[in-house]
Amino acid sequence: MKHKIIGVDPAIRKSGFAIAILSNNLFRFETFPNGFIEFIEWWQVFFFQSIDPVTFVVENSNLQNASFHLNGPPPVIARMARNVGMNQAISQATVDYLRSQGQRVVELSPKEKGKKLTQDEFVALCQEHNVNISKRRTNQDERDAGKLALMGLNRCKMEL
């Protein structure tokens, strides 16, 4: 039986919710244009089709209790604060939902996840871990989810 690691990059914006499924040294990606509800629908199908154990690695921005830059006019600052709050809520809801389904979840803050990767940096990181990518180009959300999955792979190796 193989262990699957699924990196989850939740976001509230349209088409911003993405996952990277790492299994048998291969990444597959899913992006959910309709967000959290579409992710739940995917999960329900995936759960009944998968017999392998799964670890979800979720970027939970709710773990990072920090104020972000406050530069700009008040409407810009208000919009940024609203967007941060929405992402904190959806990432915590994702963690809570997966745990309510009995799933193993590793949470990482945005700070723990670190900087965003370019396509070339992501490909190099995958090669370093001997992981193939199922598609030629990935978008930023898919790369973020993939980075989370690779971080989870390192943690699972340490725990096994």
User: CA 64 to CA 104: how far, in whole Å?
Assistant: 21
Residues 6+ apart with CB under 8 A from 105: 55, 56, 57, 58, 95, 98, 99
User: CA 88 to CA 131: how far, in whole Å?
Assistant: 30
pTM recorded for the entire structure: 0.88
- Mean of the pLDDT values across residues 38-67? 85
Domains and CATH numbers, the chain: 4-159 (3.30.420)
pLDDT at 67: 59
pLDDT digits (tens, 9 = 90+) for 13-46: 877 899 999 999 999 999 999 889 999 999 989 8
